[in-house]
A and B are shown apart, each in its own frame.
Chain A
Amino acid sequence: MTEMKGWKEIPIGGMILDAGNSEAYNTGDWRAFRPVPGEAECTNCMLCWLNCPDSSILVDAENEEMTGFDLKHCKGCGICAAVCPVNAGVIRRAEGEVEKDDPRLCIRMVEEGKFQEVGNE
């Protein structure tokens, strides 16, 4: 929790004078589901990066590789998992229903509460 400022210390009218400060806002706090890499190999198609509404897909631009998730800002919306074509393939080949935290997926959405059981990605 950042320190709360008094009315004399903040810009008037709710103005934000330091542009780009939304980065300092830890929206990862809101997350109920966490994106976690699964067993299926990422093809680096970058569809998750393209679709993420919070710019929370981390990439190595030089090697054109998807390298993980910015968990400080990821709100856990699951769009990355929904658009992932590797996930689509896993679901199509599977027999029966595939839960969204299925380990066979490329991008799994795991409940934050269960996260300790899954361990660090």
Chain B
Amino acid sequence: MSKFEALTGNAAVSNAMRQINPDVVAAYPITPQTDTVQTFSEFVADGLVDTEFVTVESEHSAMSACVGASAAGARVMTATSANGLALMWEIIYIAASNRCPIVMSLVNRALSAPINIHCDHSDVMGMRDSGWIILMSENGQEAYDNIIQAIRIGEHPDVLLPVAVCQDGFITSHSLERVELFEDGEVQDFVGTHEPQWPLLDVEDPKTYGPLDFYDYYYEHKRQQVEAMEKAHGVIREVTQEFNDRFGREYGLFEAYRMDDAEVAVIAANSTAGTAKTAVDNLRDQGLKAGLLKLRVFRPFPGQELAEALRGVSAVAVMDRAISFGSMDNAGPLFSEVVSALTLNDVHVPIADYVYGLGGRDIRPGEIENVYQEAFQMAENGKVERRVRYLGVRE
């Protein structure tokens, strides 16, 4: 039997890590991720896991240790946030390129400067081209569920890529919620045993990771990473389906909330999707046909599926918790992806971007209801008044 506990989002992830019982965890503390690995280190000290916990001197070292351990054949996990992720940068690419299926809990936080410890998505959006699979979570429960699935997705022989599981710093990482923890044995059974294909520790069959790779073969290895991302589409579906069947969930590549007859749609990720659901319900009570698409899989981006889900709506508003400085209209990264997906799939509909919540700025149902009202205006006029808006910024 599963059990329900009052847990923070971080503690939910710590418990997933305890149940997964990875061979190696290498991590460095950084707010708001810190108590994920702090709680996990208590599990290590209490002998509840067999994990080799590597305390390192920086995040660069943390990810380096993860890559080394993964190449050796270990099942490896870590956690970080914002500037910690930025310090990992070099090794983030190496983890993906060396095809190390490391699973990372990424608790989203604004990047400096000015220094800020609260939530936005500028950290994860920076790693969007690094070759990692990226899953988003609305709350602690989803972070817990996604972490468990991430092990299976990353380690799949057709994939072999690292996976980052995101949740919003403080908003969900430090909020107590009712979280369903599955039985340890059930989780163990679902993730199974890690069976690395080319472990370095197999000394009878020596091999080399990370050699020099010039103009003659580097390009071919990048092409292989494309293939792995393509395959990840199907593998994520398979693993998600198996997880849903086993644990009674309804996950997909994204969640379509009250979208069946929706006239306008908002796209949001992580905790804001939860706030947006309240806004949708309020508007529905007023007879307005509002719907929400909550992104779960950001990499590989489910562009075609997303476009199909939006085919038929009369206006779309994208909510971006990050800015892609210097991009067209200085929009958010999610907006560019969604616009490309819609255009390439011949879904032509007025669409606007709403940058919001930078540095942890609060976002309330009323503000999202205003976004919907503007979307209804776009639908009525058939045109976009202003392409990008910075929601909640003081003029």
- Flag whether B311 is at the interface (Cβ < 8 A): no
Q: Which residues of B contact A11 (CB under 8 A)?
A: 198
Q: Is the interface of A mostly helix, strand, loop or mixed?
A: loop
**Contact B213–A17 (Cβ < 8 Å):** no
CA distance A5 to B210 in the complex (A): 18
| Docked-complex contact B217 and A15, CB < 8 angstroms | no
Q: A7-B221, A7-B223 known; A15 and B208 CB under 8 Å?
A: yes
Distance A15 CA – B211 CA, assembled complex (angstroms): 7
Minimum CB distance partner of A16 in chain B? B208
Residues of A within 8 A of B208 (CB): 15-16, 19
Q: Mark A1-21, 1 if CB is under 8 A from B, else 0.
A: 000111100111111110100
Within the complex, which residue of A5, A15, A16, A17 is in contact with B220, where a contact is CB–CB below 8 Å? A5
* A13/B216 contact (C-beta < 8 A), A19-B207, A19-B208 known: no
Distance, CA A20 to CA B160, complexed state (A): 25
Chain B 182-209: CB-based contact to A (< 8 A → 1; otherwise 0): 0000000000000000100000011111
> Are B99 and A12 touching (Cβ within 8 A)?
yes
- Give Cα A15–Cα B206 distance, bound, in whole angstroms: 11
- CA separation between A12 and B98, bound complex, in Å? 8
Interface Cβ pair total, 8 Å cutoff: 50
- Across the interface, do B216 and A17 meet the contact criterion of CB distance under 8 Å? no
Are B224's CB and A12's CB within 8 A?
yes
Chain B stretch 362-390: residues in CB contact (< 8 A) with chain A: none
Which chain B residues lie closer than 8 Å to A10 at the CB level?
217, 220-221, 224
Instruction: Give the interface SS of chain B, mostly helix, strand, loop or mixed.
Output: loop
Q: Contact check, B160 vs A12: say whether CB atoms are below 8 A apart.
A: yes
Chain B residue numbers with a CB within 8 Å of A17 are 198, 207
Among B98, B99, B205, B208, the one with the most A-chain Cβ atoms within 10 Å of its Cβ is: B208
**Given known A6-B220, A7-B224, contact A14–B213 (CB-CB < 8 A):** yes
Q: Give the residues from 51 to 108 in chain B that come closer than 8 angstroms, CB to CB, to chain A.
A: 97-99
> In the bound complex, do residue A13 and residue B207 qualify as a contact, i.e. CB atoms below 8 Å apart?
no
Q: Which residues of A contact B206 (CB under 8 A)?
A: 19
Q: Which residues from A are CB-within-8-Å of B209?
A: 13-15
Q: Is the CB of B160 within 8 A of A14?
A: no
Nearest residue in A to B228 (C-beta to C-beta)? A12
Shortest C-beta distance, A30 to chain B (Å), equals 14
CB distance from B174 to the nearest CB of A (A): 37
- Encode B226-247 as 1/0 by CB contact (under 8 A) with A: 0110000000000000000000
Which residues of chain B have C-beta atoms less than 8 A from A15's C-beta?
99, 198, 207-209
Residue numbers in A under 8 Å from B160 (CB-CB): 12-13
Q: Among the listed A4, A13, A16, which residue makes an inter-chain contact with B221, where contact means beta carbons less than 8 Å apart?
A: A13
Contacts of A19 in B (CB 8 A): 205-208
Do residues B207 and A12 form an inter-chain contact, with CB atoms below 8 A?
Answer: no
Encode A37-78 as 1/0 by CB contact (under 8 A) with B: 000000000000000000000000000000000000000000
A13 touches B217 (CB 8 A): no
Q: Is the CB of B216 within 8 A of A4?
A: yes
CB distance from A100 to the nearest CB of B (A): 30
Rounded to whole angstroms, the CA-CA distance of A41 and B211 in the bound complex is: 41
Given A7-B224, A10-B221, 17 more A-B residue pairs with CB atoms under 8 Å apart are A5-B220, A6-B220, A7-B220, A10-B217, A11-B198, A12-B160, A13-B97, A13-B209, A14-B97, A14-B209, A14-B210, A14-B213, A14-B217, A14-B218, A15-B209, A19-B205, A19-B207
Closest A-B pairs by Cβ, 3 of them: A16-B208, A7-B220, A19-B206
Which residues of chain B have a CB within 8 Å of any CB of chain A? 97-99, 160, 198, 205-211, 213, 216-218, 220-221, 223-224, 227-228
18 A-B residue pairs with Cβ-Cβ distance under 8 Å, sorted by A, are A10-B217, A10-B220, A10-B221, A10-B224, A11-B198, A12-B221, A13-B97, A13-B209, A13-B221, A13-B224, A14-B217, A14-B218, A15-B99, A15-B207, A15-B208, A16-B207, A17-B198, A19-B206
